[in-house]
Amino acid sequence: MDYKELVDVYNELDKTTKRLEKTEILSEFLKKIPKNDLQSIIYLVEGRIFPEWDERKIGFSSRSMIKAISVASGESESKVESLFNKKGDLGLVTEEVMTNKKQRTLRSKKLVVKDVIENTRKLAELEGKGTVNRKIGLVTELLGNSNAEEAKYIVKTVLENLRVGVSAGIVRDAIAKAFKVEVSKVEKAGDYIADYGEVAVLAKEKRLKGILLKPGRPFKLMLALPAENIEKAFKDLGETIQFEEKLDGFRMTVHYNGKEYNLFTRRLENVTKQFPDIIEIVKKHIKGKSYIIDCEAVGYDKETKKYLPFQNISQRIKRKHNIEETARKFPVELNVFDVIFYNGKNLMNNPLKERRELLEKIIKKEKRKIVLTKKLVTGNEKEVEKFFNQALEKGMEGLMVKNYEGSYKPGRYVKGWMKLKNVLEPLDCVIVGAEWGNGKRAGLLTSYRIAIKHGDEFEEIGKVSTGIKEKEANLTYWKLTQMLKPLIVKGSGKGKEVKVKPKIIIEVAYEEVQRSPTYSSGWALRFPRVLRLREDKSLRELSDLDLVKRIHNSQKKK
């Protein structure tokens, strides 16, 4: 398929903010796409080139893109950079300089979708000497075969900042409409295989019934809504509820297909290599021919054996070298709370009561290696209050609250699972801007503009600068600056404030949510402070405007 056909659809999608119109545009387009291009088209519409669970990253910097644009257009790098500082968007810069292209050569060939996917995927795979120049060459080739409009979208795709307002929900609905399949069946397939590109192909071929949960393939995990209080939890979840201690670790699923073990984070990242110690634990302590278990990996101090905050062990997720040494330095304990698949059978539709009983039988518990989450099954509010206070005294975050007869609903925030905390629910916000510091903080980004999710957009809710340390801590100004610098996309003109690509997620505490005309969300956080990085979460899991409104309403009741 010609890339121009996809570009025309991008433009149509960008012209409307209405969900139904976007769904209609996309569904009509999907009907026309040949099967061989369908999977790639879905990825490109989502602004990606790999499925969500694929751990490969494009990793092409703005600096390299400026060089590629310069070569393809014939403009100097300084001219491209100057335009970038004014526009703050290299896609728009590319469109302008390619329109006024100095080297008026004929395009060597018409650009097709297959070329865009193949060249961009190579960016994630190239290694060794001369890699940067070879990557620039691949992007230059795509730009050289593009017209100005096509070039704009190629740049946005390669830099992973393509946004035409298409959420996963719109993709799901468009697939269902295009191929005349029930939305619920498309959603279930998407939750099971975390790849709407593959789902689209299966829907087109009427093969969605064949999708099964398989150990070794990550899926979207069940998520929890905040509970206002104990009384409301019973009202929402029933007369008898399972309460569990809420731990400050990171979510992990353990997969065993009878031959191989795999570990996945909540973001669907494969971290099997980073946690050889966990593989050894589950080999010795879990019985079964095949299984998928859901758990929380919690770090602990080797000397005191006390649990550590998530931030102390978060570095293990990204670790590529010295893995065994890091495992000895930062050991973890698996706290298991669910089994989703066992001995060839999908257990998602079984009630929690049965799934928990099975866990009790198949796991050989050993403290500081693998245990089951401490639980209380009750219908008595006073018992819950006592259990809750005991959890807080032990340094837990609070309680998880679960429907005792409930099924496991992947990928959903539903009232099957809730979380109960003693303070206002912290928000997971993305950094969208920052400010350079002065004095001893010169050269560091020290004040961060933060945003929440509203539909497919990011809306600002405040600025935060407290909670970060100067040095000798897990989260420092220096560390955040190193993470944010490659994401800078626009200066304010004053040289002090910068706009950054939305990628870094932080958990933010505050004293109160207030209405505010200052920020685009219409809300502001009173006395916000950074609690920790949330490298385990994706932009899909950002706190949204609805949550902020619920928190505000709960404040008024208190």
> Which residues are catalytic, by number?
246
Residues ≥6 apart with Cβ < 8 Å to 322: none
Where are the alpha helices (H) located in 145-182, listed in sequence order? 148-158, 168-178
Residues ≥6 apart with Cβ < 8 Å to 163: 47, 156, 456
Question: What burial letters (b/e) apply to 259-280, b meaning 16+ CB within 10 Å?
Answer: eebbbbbbbbbbbbebbebbbe
> Which of 174, 242, 542, 252 minimizes the C-alpha distance to 402?
242
> Which of 40, 100, 32 minimizes the C-alpha distance to 69?
100
Using CA atoms, how far apart are residues 311 and 528, in angstroms rounded to an integer? 19
- Are residues 438 and 499 in contact, defined by beta-carbon separation less than 8 angstroms? no
Per DSSP, the three-state class of 316 is helix
In the chain, the N- to C-terminal Cα span, in Å, equals 58
Residue located via tokens 């975390």: 194
Residues ≥6 apart with Cβ < 8 Å to 415: 225, 236, 237, 403
Per DSSP, the three-state class of 21 is helix
Bridge partners for 342 per DSSP:
291, 345
Structure tokens at 381: 């509010």
What sign for the dihedral angle of Cα 353, 358, 364, 368? negative
What sign for the dihedral angle of Cα 294, 295, 296, 302? negative
Q: What is the dihedral of CA 210, 216, 220, 223, to 10 degrees?
A: 130
Structure tokens at 175: 């697939």
Using CA atoms, how far apart are residues 39 and 15, in angstroms rounded to an integer? 24
Strands 529-533 and 505-509: antiparallel
Using CA atoms, how far apart are residues 330 and 297, in angstroms rounded to an integer? 11
Per DSSP, the three-state class of 292 is strand
Q: How many residues does the chain have?
A: 558
Residue located via tokens 């569904």: 27
Where are the alpha helices (H) located in 46-147, listed in sequence order? 62-73, 77-87, 90-99, 113-125, 131-144
Per DSSP, the three-state class of 429 is strand
Using CA atoms, how far apart are residues 155 and 67, in angstroms rounded to an integer? 12
